[in-house]
Amino acid sequence: MNKTKTGVLGALTALMLSTSASVADTVKIAFIDPLSGPFAATGENAFHLFQYAVDAVVNDQGGVLDGDTFEIVGLDNKISATETLIHLQTAIDDGVRYIVQGQSSGVAAALIDAINKHNRRNPDQQVLFLNYAAIDPALTNEACSFWHFSFDANSDLKMDALTDVIAENPDLTSAYLINQDYSFGRAVAASATSMLADKRPDITIAGDEVHPIGQVKDFTPYARKIVSSGADFVITGAWGADMYGLGTSLIANGFTGPIYTYYAAASGITAGFGEAGKGSLFILAEGQTNPPASEEAEQYVAGFKEAFPGENFTLARTSNVIRMLAAAINEAGTATDVVAVANALEGLEIENPFGGTLYMRPDNHQVIQDVHVMAHTDDGVTNSLDGSPYGLLVSDSVVAAGRDSATTCEMDRP
Amino acid sequence: MDLILVNLIDGLVTGLLLFMLSAGLTLIFSMMGVLNFAHASFYMLGAYFGYQISQYMGFWMALLFAPIIVGIFGAGVERYGLRRVHQHGHVAELIFTFGLALLIEEAVQFFWGKSQVPFMVPEALDFALFSISGNAIPAYKIFMIFIAIGIFAGLLYVLTKTRIGMIIQAALSFPRTVEALGHNVPLIFMCVFGVGTALAAVAGVIAGPVLGTFPGMAFVLGSIVFVTIVIGGLGSLWGALFASLLIGWMTTFAASYNVGLAEILTAIGISKPVDMANSPWRDFWQITLSQIGPILPYLLMVLTLIFRPHGLFRKGGL
Amino acid sequence: MTDTTHSFSRPFGISLRTVMPWLVATIVLLLLPFVFSANSTITVMNQMAITIIFALAYNMLLGQGGMLSFGHAVFMGIGGVFAVHVMSYVEVFGAPLPLPLLPIFGGIAGLIFACIIGSFSTRQAGTVFAMISLGVGELIAACSLIFVAFFGGETGVSADRTYGLPVFGVEFLRQSEVYYLIAGWLLLSVLLMYLYTRTPMGRMANAVRDNPERAEFLGYSARWVRFYSFIFSGFFAGIAGGLFALNYEIMTTENMSLVQSGKILLITFLGGMGFFVGPIIGAIVFTLLTTVLSRYTELGALYIGTIFVLTVMYCPRGLAGLLMMHEPAYRLGKLRLLLAPYLKLVIPGTVAVLGSAAVFEMLFHVRHATPGQHEMGLFGITFDSHSPFAWVIAIGGTLAAMVITRKLIPQINDAWHDANTVEGGAK
């Protein structure tokens, strides 16, 4: 909410005047994600995390190169591809060379496509896309791009970690896969099916289905189906209101097994589940905060909570984006030549205060990091969410998940 | 067999919830001829007010007061907004409710934030009443059924058996005559609008804890309420009940059974394309009933309007 | 419903007076990129032009034909998706298609689809038509996620416009080149749609809107008249879709959503559906408003909602209606009488509007800013949002401006009366 607000007159003049050329000592980063509408809560939280990360990781530590500072600009795309492309154009005109975005893989794919075209057509204004949350595996496989870097473990890597954990647990014998009907949901289901078959052939898939995204008003029928299928665990990639509806229906209608999810935390979901979700909900994520992975991480979380009281600290990877970008800029010796920065990012490996290391795979631009299975609980939680006593406690970890996994990425390099 | 019974109960709950919204909307439509786009927004307001009141006075007081507040607000909207716009015709009225829906959603975000609020089922009802072969039936659902049936019976009684009901019914069809008889028709309209929105708020208070209370909840339900009253026949209470239950059961059963179009296609002798990845018809082979469940009501509405433009339960045109 | 056409004189007579607006429009469109040369501004102008075509197409239904549609974005969406497929066909197979012709394919797709839908939806007007359009809109929006092969699912379909044949050496690499292409199509489409309102067909659409029975007695089938309006509207919506595809090189399911359909209804109404220029004004104002608001405030949607509700309540003929109110005074040559009272209103009016916005912004800041964060910037001023002083200034200033505005209204009324009567203001 630190957006500068100027009058309408100022706005009109801003429209008229073409602002050109970035200021030499500021590295501008555009954050293009929903800041209004149904997904605003997540978008806004992420924006604040980035604001904090920029200050804590770079600006307060003396900046990059010769004291250049980072500046992050929030642009509201209302989770629409069209709005995103308009903002991309505005941002580039304003001298931005780095874009961060993450909500919705659909928007991310549109952004990659647009940036590919833009960079080819405007070699003097090239930009990099640092994706902090869109995890459709296509983005680092068939749709990969030299200009795109993925900082969250993609859904295949997370599923790889999850199935490793499931494989160790002999009590789990029957799975139910329920996902939203779109490419990411289908990718989750497909990878779960193939990896379970690979690692635990004895596990049966009691059900594998997709439901329309954002359209289901009452998840009770799905919950009934899942309960009566006899499945003893559920895997879902659903998010937002769908995740909450599905989870509460499952628990209310008598499902007692673990529910493995990608997104059942924060944005009111953790508080909404409360006691009911304890022992049932598990989330796959990177970025360990409970228990704190290091003193530095603990201080970082505390610092964020001081700067933005009442807000959730999730998405530890927002700091990774800034940390790796700063390291790459320092290595490349320039912030304006994004090809050099991209080349420096490739293969970069740094320590992650939230546990393990961060390694940018050069062949598909996917960050390799530790992936955890976290339980929704109030025991031993220091970083709690939604103002409730509940938070995410790491129960299992897979170190450097999927470091040598296969990729179909064939990158066009400049 | 047991699952069918469970689905019947679940579908009944969904249908009756829909009915509480569509009952008010259908009355408002037949009264003013305007499709109130903001109706689901009053449902959302009901849920949010319910949440706020339940923080201080508990769920039961919320169930009592939230609809009253929303009803008064609704009556105010009719009195100071709609009545003014009425003279400019139906399109203007519709746009007014459209804008109002937008405003209410923004206002809700302004006051309660953009995230889901933790509106919970009251503890007195937070247990499984009974279970059918492993499927728990929460007590709260049975409570919802009784509330909805009570409202339907009450409405039916008021509309058909009491003097006020008679005047309302008469005012719906012959407003001028009723006015000539000395009744204050604008006041009647205002009250019907207030009661209609209060009913939506009741639905909001009781649905908020189970379906989630978030700023998008009105949008999710918004157009499906229209669909219900159009299928049932605008202005018909029985039609609204029938259509609500039909849609409730239809979506529940569609979600419960994974019938794929592929099986039907195979059954009628069309063979699956060999190269699935590149066939332009590949999507037809992946469609399942549960996938298209939520859009079935729209399909039903379009078909109804094509073949029986006045809805299932109304004689004469719209 | 007000009449769309004001002067019934010489439907096709060409004189300097009738050609003048078009010449001016052409020159303005040609010069605009020299005034606003930033790529992002050109993007906004492209968006504006596409919205103008779409809004005019929509008004063929709503304003001229009296048909309220809740699902018109579907035609634009399908036109656009088809255009994208044509574009990738050109890209993959190297078909010899010059890019400027692409929108025609969008238009044809819109037309064909409108023929299919219109065959049953235009049988009746009024609520039946409106509800069918809502149902079809929802069905297509849902299908766009199900039929991935055509619609591309939630990622949508995309193509690259630069692989088409270069036209006179122009490869449409730069935004400004695309701008001229869109501007050309804008002029052409607006001209065609304007001429359509002058044809007997366009006139009959008005007649059917106002009184279908009488139109039937004249020997016109109300249904066919509605059908033709519908498919032409679908055609131009498809053109708008084709241009959208060309500009953004991507079509996603959001282009078909109910939200888009609602937006175009609001735009048309805001501009004034009773006038041919109404949707044009609506599209320009709305695009500017959303661009500016989304840049400077988080409460944009709240303001837009308020503006719509106020427009419906106080000026239901839209912005064009507001302008056209001055026509009698203009004819009487007394517009200058209004000038002084209007100028007096400008300052208090602006202060009242901006002041109310400021109060909302401050309230929002106090409620939702990070606790402890008291400093907020507004209109270029930085201040403490929790200090009573700031609140007194904001609320007091706004109220004072409102009172002054209210005081000025009788003056306006007097001036209005003077300006609109032959003898008024003579003294």
Q: Is the dihedral of CA B56, B59, B61, B63 positive or negative?
A: positive
A388: three-class secondary structure by DSSP: coil
Distance CA C157, CA C150 (A): 8
CB contact under 8 A, A1 and C365: yes
Spans of chain A, pLDDT less than 50: 1-24
Picking from A179, A220, A250 by the largest number of B CB atoms within 10 A of its own CB, the best residue to mutate is A220
Residue contact C138–B295, C-beta within 8 A: yes
**How is residue C122 written in tokens?**
């235009």
CA distance A139 to chain C (A): 11
For residue C335, CA distances in Å to B84, C6, C159, C278 come to: 29, 19, 52, 21
What are residue A260's DSSP bridge partners? Answer: A235, A282
The contacts of residue A109 (CB under 8 Å, 6+ apart) are: A134, A136, A138, A139, A143, C155
Say which of B3, B113, B116 has its CB closest to residue A228: B3
Residues C64 and C58 sit within 8 Å (Cβ to Cβ): no
Task: Tell me the one-letter amino acid at A173.
Answer: T
Pair C31, C176 in one domain: yes
Q: Residues spanned by CATH 3.40.50.2300 within chain A?
A: 20-152+299-368, 156-285+371-398
Query: Which structural domain, as residue segments, surrounds residue B185?
Result: 2-256
Determine whether the interchain pair C296/A106 forms a contact, defined as Cβ–Cβ distance below 8 Å.
Answer: no
B66-80, B178-192, C132-146, C161-175: range with lowest mean pLDDT:
C161-175
Instruction: Name the more confident of B268 and A331.
Output: A331
Instruction: Find where tokens 């408002």 sit.
Output: B28
Q: Cβ of A311 and C250 within 8 Å?
A: no
Residues in C touching B230 (Cβ below 8 Å): 131
Flag whether residue A27 sits within 8 Å of chain B, measured between CB atoms: no
Label residues A357-387 b or e (16+ Cβ within 10 Å = b): ebbbbeebbbbbbbbbbbbbbeeebebbbbe
Strand-pairing partners, residue A372, are A285, A397
Say how far apart CA C62 and CA A210 lie, in whole Å: 38
Whether the Cβ atoms of residue C230 and residue C133 lie closer than 8 Å to each other: no
CATH of the domain at C138: 1.10.3470
SS3 A272: helix
Residue C9 domain-assigned (yes or no): no
Residue B44 is encoded by which pair of tokens? 């959302």
Of C74, C86, C105, nearest in space to C157 by CA = C86
Strands A367-368 and A69-76 come out as unpaired
Question: Rounded to a whole number, what is the distance in Å from the CA of A224 to chain B's nearest CA?
Answer: 7
Q: Write out chain C residues lying below 8 Å of B298, CB-based.
A: 134-135, 138-139, 142
Would C58 be classed as within a structural domain?
yes
> Do A364 and A347 form a contact (C-beta atoms < 8 A)?
no
Mean pLDDT of B98-114: 85
Q: Which of the following CATH numbers is that of domain A20-152+299-368: 2.130.10.10, 3.20.20.100, 3.40.50.2300, 3.40.190.10?
A: 3.40.50.2300
C269 in reach of chain B (CB within 8 A): yes
Contacts of A85 in chain C (CB under 8 A): 43, 248, 250
In the predicted model, what is the mean pLDDT of residues C406-427? 73
C213: confidence class by pLDDT, cuts 50, 70, 90: confident
What CATH number has the domain bearing residue B218? Answer: 1.10.3470
Please report residues of C whose CB lies closer than 8 A to that of B318: 126-128
Q: Chain A, 254-283: which have a CB under 8 Å from a chain B CB?
A: 254, 267-269, 271-272, 274
Q: How many CA atoms lie within 13 A of C49 on its CB side?
A: 29
How many distinct structural domains can be found in chain B? 1
**Closest CA of chain A from B110, distance in Å:** 11
Q: Does A7 touch chain C (CB under 8 A)?
A: yes
- C-alpha pair distances (Å), A259 with each of A194, B50, B100: 19, 30, 39
Q: Which of C38, C156, C361 sits opposite A81 (nearest CB)?
A: C156
Sign of torsion over alpha carbons C207, C212, C217, C220: positive
Grade residue B289 by pLDDT with cuts at 50, 70 and 90: confident
Stated length of chain C: 427
For residues C257 and A81, what is the distance between their CA atoms, to the nearest angstrom?
A: 13
Answer yes or no: is B302 within a domain.
no
Most B CBs within 10 Å, among A217, A222, A386, to test the B interface: A217
Q: Which of A1, A11, A309 is nearest residue C292 as measured by Cβ atoms?
A: A11
Are C55 and C161 in a shared domain?
Answer: yes
CB contact under 8 A, B298 and C135: yes
User: Which pair of structure tokens corresponds to residue A118?
Assistant: 């833009």
Question: Which parts of B146-284 are beta strand (E)?
Answer: none
Domain membership of residue C344 as a residue range: 327-420
Closest CA to A177 of A191, A158, A160, A157: A191
User: What three-state secondary structure class fits A229?
Assistant: coil
Let me know: does C267 contact C282? Beta carbons within 8 Å.
yes
Q: What's the gap in Å between the CA of B27 and the closest CA on chain A?
A: 24
Question: In this structure, how many other beta carbons lie within 10 angstroms of the beta carbon of residue A237?
Answer: 30
Kindly list the distances between the CA atom of residue B314 and the CA atoms of B151, B152, B224, B233, in Å, as whole numbers in the listed order: 22, 19, 19, 5
Contact yes or no for A310 and C41 at CB 8 A: no
Q: Does C285 touch chain A (CB under 8 A)?
A: no
> Same structural domain for residues C227 and C345?
no
Q: What is the mean pLDDT of residues B28-47?
A: 86
C255 and C294 within one domain: yes
Lowest mean pLDDT across A96-110, B144-158, B262-276, B295-309: B262-276
* Dihedral (Cα; B300, B305, B310, B312), 10-degree rounding: -20
**pLDDT digits 0-9 by tens, C298-311:** 778 888 888 888 88
Q: Which of A2, A4, A5 to mutate to test the interface with C (most CBs of C within 10 A)?
A: A5
Residues of A in contact with B115 (CB under 8 A): 41, 267-268, 386
**Counting Cβ atoms within 10 Å, is residue A193 exposed (0-12), middle (13-18) or buried (19+)?**
middle
User: Could you give the CA distance from residue A401 to residue A357 in angstroms, rounded to a whole number?
Assistant: 11
Q: Is the CB of C148 inside 8 Å of chain B's CB atoms?
A: yes
Distance of alpha carbon B85 from alpha carbon C308, whole angstroms: 12
Residues with Cβ within 8 Å of residue B25, at least 6 apart in sequence? B36, B39, B196, B200, B225, B226, B229, B240
- Which of C318, C353, C369 is where one domain is finished? C318
| A183: contact with C, CB 8 A cutoff | yes
Q: Which two tokens stand for residue C325?
A: 């109110």
Chain B stretch 34-53, residues whose beta carbon is closer than 8 A to a beta carbon of chain C: 35
Contact status of C366 with chain B (Cβ, < 8 Å): no
C8 lies in some domain = no
Q: Which residues of C touch B111 (CB under 8 A)?
A: 367
- Is B116 close to A244, i.e. CB distance below 8 A? yes
DSSP 8-state class, residue A384: B
Q: What per-residue confidence (pLDDT) applies to A39?
A: 76
Contact A254 B118 (CB under 8 A): no
**Looking at chain A, which subunits does it touch, using at least 3 CB pairs closer than 8 Å as the criterion?**
B, C
**pLDDT value for A362:** 92
Q: Does A124 touch chain C (CB under 8 A)?
A: no
Structure tokens at A27: 């590295």
Assign A364 to helix, strand or coil.
Answer: coil
pLDDT score for C220: 83
**Tokens 């998706």 belong to residue:** C81
Nearest to B236 by CA among B164, B139, B294, B169: B169
Please check whether residues C333 and C309 belong to one and the same domain: no
Q: Would residue B235 be called left, alpha or beta, if left means φ above 0 and alpha means ψ between -120 and 50 degrees?
A: left
Q: Do B293 and A212 touch (CB under 8 A)?
A: yes
In a domain, B112, yes or no: yes
The residues, ordered by sequence, that sit 6+ positions from C271 with a Cβ below 8 Å of its Cβ are C55, C277, C278, C279, C280, C281, C282, C283, C285, C286, C318, C319, C320
Q: For position A20, what pLDDT does the model report? A: 35
Question: Tell me, which fold does domain A156-285+371-398 have in CATH?
Answer: Rossmann fold (3.40.50)
| C-beta atoms of A221 and B295 within 8 A | no
Give CA angle at C20 (C19, C23), nearest 5°: 90
Say if residues A113 and A85 touch (Cβ distance below 8 Å). no
Model confidence at C142: pLDDT above 50: yes
Chain B positions in Cβ-Cβ contact with residue C136 (cut-off 8 Å): 302
Whether A44 sits inside 8 A of B114 (CB atoms) is yes
Q: Given this model, what pLDDT does residue B314 score?
A: 61
Classify A41 in phi/psi space as left (phi over 0), alpha (psi -120 to 50) or beta: alpha
Q: For residues C144-171, b (16+ Cβ closer than 10 Å) or e, as one string?
A: bbbbbeebbbbbbbbbbbeebeeeeeee
pLDDT score recorded for residue C124 = 83
Does the beta carbon of C302 lie under 8 angstroms from any beta carbon of chain B? yes
Q: Which residues contact A9 (CB under 8 A, 6 or more apart)?
A: none
Query: E-strand spans in C111-235?
Result: 157-158
Element (H or E) spanning B218, and its range? helix B217-232
Chain C hits for B309, CB-CB cut-off 8 Å, are 124, 128
- Search chain B and give the residue with CA nearest A213: B291
Within an 8 Å CB–CB cutoff, is residue A303 touching chain C? no
| pLDDT at C373 (0 to 100) | 65
Contact B298 C138 (CB under 8 A): yes
* B195 located within any domain: yes
Nearest to B92 among C127, C262, C316 (CB): C316
DSSP string, C269-308: HHH-TTSSSHHHHHHHHHHHHHHHHHHH-S-HHHHHHHHH
* In-domain check, residue C154: yes
Closest to C113 measured CA to CA, from C72, C152, C53:
C72
> Is B273 within a domain?
no
Partners of chain C (3+ Cβ pairs below 8 A): A, B
Contact A268 B117 (CB under 8 A): yes
When divided into structural domains, chain C yields a total of: 2
Residues C243 and C307 occupy one common structural domain:
yes
For residues C311 and C332, state if they share a domain.
no
SS3 C377: strand
**Number of alpha carbons in the 13 Å side-chain half-sphere of residue A387:** 10
- Contact with chain A for residue B7, Cβ under 8 A: yes
How distant, in Å, are the alpha carbons of A273, A402, C235, C306, C344 from that of C399?
46, 63, 49, 18, 17
Q: Are residues C192 and C141 in the same domain?
A: yes
DSSP state of B117: B
What would the pLDDT profile of C7-55 be if each residue is shown by its tens digit? Answer: 444 445 567 777 888 888 888 888 888 888 787 788 889 999 999 999 9
CA distance to A43, A243, A301, per residue, from A52 (Å): 14, 28, 10
What percent of chain C shows pLDDT beyond 70?
91
